[in-house]
Structures are given as structure tokens and as C-alpha cells.
Amino acid sequence: MLMPLLKPLTLGAALLAALTAAVPAPAAAQQNAICYNCPPEWADWASQLKAIKDDLGIAVPFDNKNSGQSLSAMLAEKDKPVADVVYLGGPVGIQAKEAGVVAPFKPDAWDQIPADMKDPDGYWFTIHSGTLGFFVNTEALGGKPVPQSWADLLKPDYAGMVGYLDPTSAAVGYVGAVAVNLALGGGYGNFDPAIGWFKALQKNQPIVPKQTSYARVLSGEIPILIDYDFNAYRAKHTDKAPAAFVIPAEGSVSVPYVMSLVKNGPNPENAKKVLNYVLSDKGQALWANAFMRPVRAAAMPPDTAAKFLPAADYARARPVDLARMAEAQKGFMARYQAEVR
């Protein structure tokens, strides 16, 4: 009794199968990974992300957030993350771990990263570092001498010429505060020298942007920017601008930049490939070509090293204590907002 009913069903199933087979399979989806704080003008992320696309087939869009904005975004998106990886100034990497927005991951080159440049569990790890100083457009000085010290920047000659990124928002801004503070005798528990210096600088009407300001130095809009060596070297050697870099006479700091895997990001496998790539031989060489100091020291080409200031100048820069910097940041920000801004 059931046999006549089965035959039409079998024919229908066969017809459905034939129609399904006739429909072409959809094209493979674009491979993506979202990186927070990967601006094309900073550390030549443009070349790094192009290489990732060419070599891995993973598209990573540019992102112009700074470190503080990236952490704020990840906190806001904690329940439904948008980013897959994040690039941060060292102290902010520690804060991201404490906030629970990044996940542990040990990349392939883990053993080649010095112990003091990574979280022991892999929540963050250094990819390269930079030394803070003065990025100067020498033509924009209008004949004035290139400043050589923190004290020089307070001279009336440089009124309206000095810029620094907002230290309550951008990692490089806070690094600048730490640099001047340590150089003038302060410590991680005492920011009196830095607060005093910023107050004095207010008389010179400093320019205080929140975002990367490389192009504004090249144009001469900001003749002197408290910034990293790699941006000044890029301006001089790559963009052929009238640029100079100065490590101030009183001293400065060298700071690692780190990356992390975002916790519960939408593309974890692509994210891990990106993190492995930036530490690969090619990825590290690209950082060196952008005048960053790669965390894997052997990746620094000798001809690139020759374009840096002499070792005697770099002797004035000390490494930072990332943990103490991170602990001190909130207290400094509160004082800066209350006493300087």
C-alpha cells in the first residue's frame, strides 16, 4: 500500500538533487582580520598590511585609533568583539590584559622574544620598539636652531612650534610624559617634574593632537613633535623631508610596542596568522625598514642600523618599566587633566 507513495517522493528527491548540483558553489569568502590601531602612517603599517594581504591572502583594513581609543572600544565591545588583534603601546597592553579583553597566544617566534618584553602567558608580546625624542622639521623652524633638550622646548623662541600627542589618550603622549619626568629627576611614583614641565610649556601654546601627526610635521604645521625615532627616520630617509631626530640631553626612554589576540574575536585563526606574520623574518624586516627596532634583533639589516643616531646618543635613553608605567598612568592622567589641560 505504501509503494505508490514512495515513488513520487523518490523522484522529487532526485529532482531536488539535480537542481542543487546545477547551482554553482559560492565563491570563497574574503579572508579578513580586524586590527585596532593599525594606521598606515604609523610605523609603516601600510607596507606590513599589504604584505599580509599578498602573502597570506588576509585583508586587514587600516585603523586610525590610538592605544587608548582601542582599549576603550574593546571594553565597549567586550560582549561582542569586533577586533581580532590589537596593537598597543606597552603599558596599555598590560591594561588590556587586566581588563580581560585579550586572550593568551604564544606565536611561533615566542622563544626569540626576550622575557621582559612579553607577558609570560602570552596576553601581550613586543613586536618592535622605539626611542622617544624630538621629530623636527628643520625648515619649519625658520632659521632657529634645532632644540637639543627638554629645557630648550620651553624657550620663547619655540612658541607655537612644539607638539605632543594628548597623554590622556595616546600611548606616545603618555610615554612623552614618562620620558620628561624621568629625565628631570622624577619617578613612577612622582610625576611632579613632568607636571611642572607641561605647565611651563603651556606658555608656548603647544599643539596637542589626539591622533598620529606625521603628516603635520612633514607639512611644517608642527615643526617640533615629541615622537619616536622611527617616524623621524622615515621622514628623512624615505620621504626625503628636511627632518632631524634628537634624543634630548637630559635623557629619554625606549618603549616596546606590543600586540595581542583579542578575546573572542570573530576571526581567531586569521588573527593568529597575522600575529605570527608580524614576528616572522619578513615581518620583522619590514619593521626594520620602517626604522623600528625589531624585537628579534637579528632582523635589523646593517644598512638600516647605519641610518640611526650613534650609539652614544642612544645611551641617553633608558628602558621603561612597563608594569610600573601601567600602574602610574591613571594617577598621572588625573593630575594632567586637573593641573595642565
Please report, for the domain that includes residue 197, its CATH number. Answer: 3.40.190.10
Q: Is residue 208 located within the same domain as residue 331?
A: yes
Residues 260 and 280 in one domain: yes
- In angstroms, the CA 231 to CA 239 distance is 10
What's the pTM? Answer: 0.76
* CA separation for the pair 38, 65 (Å, rounded): 8
pLDDT value of position 27 = 36
Range of the domain at 210: 131-254+320-339
Compute CA distances 57 → 73, 276, 277, 290, whole Å. Answer: 26, 14, 12, 22
Residue 149 shares a structural domain with residue 275: no
Q: Which pLDDT value is given to residue 162?
A: 98
Please check whether residues 125 and 148 belong to one and the same domain.
no
pLDDT at residue 44 tops 50:
yes
Whether residues 146 and 231 share a domain: the answer is yes
CA distances from 93 to 11, 193, 223, 289 (A): 62, 26, 30, 24
Domain shared by 227 and 335, yes or no? yes
Q: Work out whether strand 58-59 and strand 31-32 pair parallel, antiparallel, or are unpaired.
A: parallel
- Please state at what angle helix 90-99 crosses helix 171-183, rounded to 10 degrees: 120
Cα gap 123→259, rounded to integer Å: 9
Do residues 218 and 240 share a domain?
yes
On whether both 202 and 123 belong to a single domain, the answer is no
Strand 224-228 to 162-164 pairing: parallel
Q: What is the DSSP letter of 50?
A: H
For residues 152 and 175, give the distance between their C-alpha atoms in angstroms, rounded to a whole number.
19
pLDDT for 286-329, tens place per residue? 999 989 999 998 888 889 989 999 999 999 999 999 889 989 99
Distance, in Å, from the CA atom of 256 to the CA atom of 172, rounded to the nearest integer, reads: 11
CB of 32 closer than 8 Å to CB of 270: yes
25 within a domain of the structure (yes/no): no
CA-based nearest residue to 131, from 224, 246, 278: 246
In a domain, 198, yes or no: yes
Element of type H or E holding 209: none
Task: Read off the pLDDT of residues 86-108 as tens digits, 9 standing for 90 and up.
Answer: 999 898 999 999 999 999 999 99
Q: How far, in Å, CA of 270 to CA of 277, rounded?
A: 11
Res 30: pLDDT: 65
DSSP label of 310 = P
In a domain, 20, yes or no: no
pLDDT tens-digit readout, 113-143: 999 899 999 999 999 999 999 999 999 999 9
The reply to whether 207 falls in a domain is yes
- In this structure, the answer to whether residues 181 and 303 fall within a common structural domain is no
* Residue-averaged pLDDT of the chain: 91
Please report, rounded to a whole number, the percentage of residues in the chain having pLDDT higher than 70.
Answer: 91
